[in-house]
Amino acid sequence: MTSDTTRKAYPAIDPYETGRLPVGDGHELYYELCGNPNGTPIVFLHGGPGSGCSPHHRRLFDPQRYRILLFDQRGCGRSSPLGGLDANTTWHLVEDMEKLRRALDIERWVLFGGSWGATLALAYAQTHPETVSAMILRGVFSGRRAELSWFYEKGANHLFPDEWENLTALVPQAEQGDIIGAYRRRLTDPDRAVRAAAAASWTQWESATVAMRSGPPPQPSRSVSDATIAFARIENHYFHHDLWLEDGQLLDRADRLSRIPGVIVQGRYDVVTPAITSWQLAQVWTQADYRMVEGAGHAFAEPGILQELLAATDRFSSAL
């Protein structure tokens, strides 16, 4: 842990530039640049997959030292088409990052990603290691079948039996052996009402498990937004296809990161992405500084997690 446990994120800032980049296949990405146009380039890779970026993500980086790039991945947030599944795979996103890097004239950049964002960072860095100056990863998810099984078949349901009951209530008993597949059928149903009901249940399961200490339960909403449906559709789409990764691929190829320094931040009680994956990654990515945060779960805004992330971004802003 860092010594300053009361430290807050950086003050809110607005982008100095926004844009849209056509990347092919009918997809167009929204991106924004914040901070110092002459600072160290850093790219924020949002989670999900499917969630998109938010203004509070800008506050993880010193705006005086960093040229901060945030973008919404295919089908997410302000990118279009919203919720689009066609030509939307891990490897499309890796090449989208390259197109953004070249379009913005960035030679090398720091990668910052948590959860699915860490997955994408690893996939990109193993494909284009020469363009990566450092990586900061949180709650590492590598896309292995065992990790998906933990969260959607056996494991997390033992800790959250009430929330698991809510997740499975939408699915007939005969389909409960494959929750991801059962939800895929509903999230791709032509009837919006069916998609909305599935999206509400899918996102509630994740929301209930993401933090070590949850606040009051959210009040049920009578409507489900298009953004919520898009998030659930895209996340389920990726999980249904095993993220287009060979099982264990990102750990097996971690030797490709040997010249890249980094920090891995992990909550001890992270239920969404248990610590075993980040621990195993740290054993083979020896350039990474491993930071286990006691009393923390998965969410980046939990105090101990946030302190370590801010310390890591400060470290690379001056060291590179």
Residue 270 a catalytic site member? yes
Please say which residue of 243, 268, 284 terminates a domain.
243
Closest to 302 measured CA to CA, from 109, 138, 89, 67: 138
Last residue of a domain, one of 200, 227, 243: 243
Domain end (from 209, 243, 277): 243
Q: Are residues 132 and 255 in the same domain?
A: yes
Active site residue 317: no
C-beta separation of 84 from 49 below 8 A: no
Amino acid 1: pLDDT:
39
Does any domain span residue 8? no
Q: Quick one: 200 and 152 in the same domain? A: yes
For residue 211, the model assigns a pLDDT of 85
Catalytic residue among 62, 72, 96, 270: 270
State residue 246's pLDDT score. 97
224 and 213 assigned to the same domain: yes
Q: Pick the catalytic residue from 27, 46, 240, 298.
A: 298
What range does the domain containing 196 cover?
A: 145-243
Q: Catalytic one among 115, 142, 201, 278?
A: 115
**Is 11 contained in some domain?**
no
Statement to judge: residues 29 and 124 lie in one domain: yes
From first to last of its 320 residues, what are the pLDDT tens digits of the chain? 344 456 789 999 999 999 999 999 999 999 999 999 999 999 999 999 999 999 999 999 999 999 999 999 999 999 999 999 999 999 999 999 999 999 999 999 999 999 999 999 999 999 999 999 999 999 999 999 999 999 999 899 999 999 999 999 999 999 999 999 999 999 999 999 999 999 999 999 999 999 876 555 555 556 899 999 999 999 999 999 999 999 999 999 999 999 999 999 999 999 999 999 999 999 999 999 999 999 999 999 998 999 999 999 999 997 55
Query: Tens digits of per-residue pLDDT, 21-55?
Result: 999 999 999 999 999 999 999 999 999 999 999 99
Looking at the fold, whether 45 and 135 belong to one and the same domain comes out as yes
Confidence at residue 6, expressed as pLDDT on a 0 to 100 scale = 64
Instruction: Judge whether 4 lies within some domain.
Output: no
* Residues counted in the chain: 320
At residue 214, the pLDDT reads 58
pLDDT of residue 221: 57
Please report the pLDDT score of residue 42 as a whole number. Answer: 98
| pLDDT for the residue numbered 109 | 98
Residues 175, 123, single domain; the answer is no
- How many domains does the chain divide into? 2
Do both 131 and 30 map to the same domain?
yes
Residues 22 and 135 reside in one and the same domain: yes
Q: What is the pTM of this model?
A: 0.95
Residue 64 lies in a domain: yes
| Nearest residue to 242 via CA among 198, 180, 299, 171 | 180
Residue 82 maps to which CATH number? Answer: 3.40.50.1820
Residues 234, 178: one domain? yes
Over its C-alpha atoms, the chain yields an Rg (Å, rounded) of 19
Residue 112 lies in a domain: yes
Same domain, 235 and 202: yes
Q: Among 43, 7, 37, 115, which Cα is nearest to 316's?
A: 43
Four-residue CA torsion sign, 118, 300, 23, 247:
positive
Query: Is 56 designated active site?
Result: no
307 CB contacts (<8 Å, ≥6 apart)? 1, 2, 4, 5, 7
* Residues 133, 63 within the same domain: yes
At residue 150's C-alpha, the angle toward residues 146 and 152, to 5°, is 110
Q: Does 104 lie in the same domain as 205? A: no
